[in-house]
Amino acid sequence: MKGVPRTVAVVGVPGTGKTTVCRILSGMVRHTYINYGELMLRVAGEWNLAETLEDLFKLPMDQQHLIWLEAAHRIRRLDYVLMDLHGLDRSPLGYLISLPVDIISPEIIVILESDPQSILGRRMADSKMRVRESLESLREHMEMLRTSMFVCSAVLGSVVSIVENHDPEEAALDILGIIDEAAWTGDTNP
């Protein structure tokens, strides 16, 4: 592929700073910024199923899955997209890959990471944050996310980059550099 990558997915565990970094980055790129969870909530609202994220996550899994699919189909119709999503969600039954690879094929997958202690601190400070994990289970979640995204990359032929979020502005610039390099070289395939 030559030119600007059409779809860039920024993934990370809850509390890693994805939304903050993506909002900064969205002002630097031509891509439409989509927060996957917010889009799912919008779909659920249109279908009169949920008004809050708490309501959304209380829905039966089959309804959540239909909402997830509808959100993916809406994103697929867009031209240039910067997607903000977890990539891998933890459920009572285990892990679920939340990157809809059968519908959306990002050319670049960026795994945004932060120090696990910082993530736990952000989660404690955020009253809306639903996720409660120990340091050990958070590290496992981060490792499983990496593994999952490399598997998705192998299936899609995407590039995976890992960006550390020590400072949101710098992390956004790092991701911009990855997008620019891919556009300049036309190299988004390993």
Residue 190's pLDDT is what? 44
| 31 closest CA partner among 88, 72, 69, 84 | 84
Residue 133's pLDDT is what? 79
Could you tell me the residue ranges of all domains in the chain? 7-34+79-184
CATH-assigned architecture of domain 7-34+79-184: 3-Layer(aba) Sandwich (3.40)
Measure the CA–CA gap between 40 and 169, rounded to whole angstroms: 27
Residue 122's pLDDT is what? 84
Measure the CA–CA gap between 90 and 178, rounded to whole angstroms: 28
Measure the CA–CA gap between 182 and 180, rounded to whole angstroms: 5
Residue 2's pLDDT is what? 60
Residue 129's pLDDT is what? 58
Residue 126's pLDDT is what? 73
Cβ atoms 138, 120 nearer than 8 A: yes
Residue 183's pLDDT is what? 80
Residue 185's pLDDT is what? 67
Residue 78's pLDDT is what? 96
* pLDDT less than 50: residues of the chain: 1, 190
Q: Are strands 94-97 and 88-91 parallel, antiparallel or unpaired?
A: antiparallel
